[in-house]
């Protein structure tokens, strides 16, 4: 075991107890064994999911009936963390090639290693879905001064050339890498990315790297479309101000887009996508919805024979690709990470992230 000097015994952390009940408090710094790593957190992003959980969404806390809680009360929140090694067990150091002071990230999912999906190498679909910041003890989060990566974590070394606040974007970017890979974009394609939140803006930049014929951004906020324009969108459409599906058809010889990537998390994003996609097109769904969507399924089969691909978290290679792209400067994280706020000021930060009017990605820094 190696450890930096003067690691405190207690730390500040943001704990999720339930909807509208998050507490910034002192708790013990995690203890580690020879298979584990103690991480000094540099930054932790606030995900749309974090703000939904704070606002009591039943997908996180259950409804006492058919929806079971996904989150444990009193868990340390946050899955978009980045930090440096403050202490490390010998086995973990050997396994991951890490030393004290190195920067390292763990994937958001803590795979069980034993279920059918883990054994077949599809660990991001692990039957247990333990995600950092959601399950107490097995998957505590990064909204704290320290956190630990256990023997089950998938750890990646991260170059320090990436500013810490941008490195906090690795998790959303990994999700975007997986999503865009699922789209199978070709040079001849007209591609629509709907929903210009942090992940949508990552999807947009990644789709641009595939060099499609035309890249179209759709969002109901003009400020987000402006960011999309700066990040490479050829055309920006606000569906509140135009008939976006008609515009897309005009831009594609009347056929509709070849690829539609939905990151809106809003039911209208599905209806709109099925309308503007061409026959035999590819529809990729990443959004997490607060309510059900009603569409006519005959569009999918009988009328258009669409390929629909789901995408969940970072897939198999999301993290390694995201880290390498940020390190090479291929992704402009600066335009997405708009605010870095002290962890102690978490309430203001959550409000800022939730409204999304003045911010895109807000990250929390426990040292500010
Ligand atoms: Zn997230
Ligand atoms: Zn598993």
Q: How confident is the model at residue 209 (pLDDT cuts 50, 70, 90)?
A: very high
* Closest of 215, 262, 271, 264 to residue 243, by C-alpha: 271
| Start-end of CATH 3.40.50.720 domains in the chain | 176-310
So what's the pLDDT on residue 291?
Answer: 81
Q: How far is the CA of 185 from the centre of ligand 1 (A)?
A: 24
| Start-end of CATH 3.90.180.10 domains in the chain | 2-169+336-365
Q: What would the pLDDT profile of 293-350 be if each residue is shown by its tens digit?
A: 999 999 999 999 999 999 999 999 999 999 999 999 999 999 999 999 999 999 999 9
Q: How far is the CA of 45 from the centre of ligand 1 (A)?
A: 8
Cα(142)–Cα(297) distance, integer angstroms:
41
2-169+336-365: what fold?
A: Quinone Oxidoreductase; Chain A, domain 1 (3.90.180)
3-state secondary structure of 153: coil
Residue 290 pLDDT greater than 80, yes or no: no
Q: How far is the CA of 170 from the centre of ligand 1 (A)?
A: 10
Residue 289 pLDDT greater than 90, yes or no: no
HSE-CB at 145 with a 13 A cutoff on CA atoms is 16
User: What's the mean pLDDT when you consider all of the chain?
Assistant: 97
Kindly give, in sequence order, each residue whose CB lies less than 8 Å from that of residue 358, ignoring residues fewer than 6 positions away. 338, 352
Which ligand is the nearest neighbour of the Cα of 128? 2
HSE-CB at 175 with a 13 A cutoff on CA atoms is 25
So what's the pLDDT on residue 288?
Answer: 83
Mean pLDDT of 52-62: 94
Cα(147)–Cα(143) distance, integer angstroms:
9
Residue 173 pLDDT greater than 80, yes or no: yes
Measured CA distances, 27 to 24, 58, 135, 168, 232 (Å): 10, 27, 16, 23, 44
Q: Is the model's pTM score more than 0.85?
A: yes
Which segments of 176-228 are extended strands (E)?
190-194, 214-218
Q: How far is the CA of 129 from the centre of ligand 2 (A)?
A: 8
Q: What would the pLDDT profile of 10-43 be if each residue is shown by its tens digit?
A: 999 999 999 999 999 999 999 999 999 999 999 9
Domain covering 176-310: architecture: 3-Layer(aba) Sandwich (3.40)
Measured CA distances, 198 to 47, 272, 336, 356 (Å): 9, 20, 6, 10
Residue 61 gets the label, from left (phi > 0), alpha (psi -120 to 50) or beta, of alpha
Q: Which residues surround ligand 2, an ion (CB under 5 A)?
A: 111-112, 115, 118, 126
Note whether 295 and 270 are within 8 A (CB): yes
Residue 287 pLDDT greater than 90, yes or no: no
Measured CA distances, 29 to 130, 150, 152, 164 (Å): 21, 14, 19, 21
């Amino acid at each position: 075991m190696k450890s930096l000097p003067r690691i405190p015994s207690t730390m500040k952390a943001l704990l999720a107890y339930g909807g509208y009940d998050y507490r910034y408090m002192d708790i013990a710094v995690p203890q580690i064994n020879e298979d584990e790593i103690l991480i000094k957190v540099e930054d932790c992003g606030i995900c749309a999911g974090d703000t939904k959980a704070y606002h009591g969404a039943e997908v996180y806390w259950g409804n006492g009936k058919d929806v079971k809680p996904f989150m444990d009360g009193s868990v340390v929140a946050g899955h978009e963390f980045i930090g440096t090694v403050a202490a490390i067990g010998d086995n973990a150091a050997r396994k991951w090639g890490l030393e004290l002071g190195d920067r390292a990230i763990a994937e958001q999912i803590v795979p069980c290693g034993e279920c059918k999906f883990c054994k077949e190498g599809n660990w991001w679909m692990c039957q247990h879905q333990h995600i950092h910041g959601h399950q107490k003890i097995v998957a505590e989060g990064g909204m704290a001064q320290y956190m630990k990566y256990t023997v089950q974590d998938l750890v990646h070394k991260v170059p320090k050339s990436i500013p810490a606040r941008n490195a906090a974007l690795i998790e959303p970017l990994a999700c975007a890498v997986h999503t865009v890979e699922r789209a199978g974009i070709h040079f001849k394609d007209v591609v629509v990315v709907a929903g210009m939140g942090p992940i949508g803006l990552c999807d947009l930049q990644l789709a641009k790297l595939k060099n499609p014929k035309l890249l179209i951004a759709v969002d109901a906020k003009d400020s987000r479309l402006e960011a999309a324009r700066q990040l490479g969108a050829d055309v920006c459409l606000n569906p509140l101000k135009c008939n976006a599906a008609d515009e897309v058809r005009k831009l594609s010889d009347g056929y509709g887009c070849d690829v539609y990537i939905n990151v809106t998390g809003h039911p209208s994003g599905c209806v709109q996508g099925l309308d503007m996609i061409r026959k035999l097109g590819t529809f990729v769904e990443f959004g997490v919805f607060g309510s059900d969507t009603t569409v006519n399924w005959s569009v999918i089969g009988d009328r258009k024979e669409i390929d629909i691909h789901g995408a969940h978290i970072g897939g198999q290679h999301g993290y390694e690709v995201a880290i390498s792209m940020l390190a090479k400067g291929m992704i402009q994280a600066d335009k997405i990470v708009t605010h870095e706020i002290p962890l102690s000021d978490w309430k203001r930060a959550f409000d800022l992230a939730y409204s999304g009017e003045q911010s895109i990605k807000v990250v929390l820094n426990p040292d500010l």
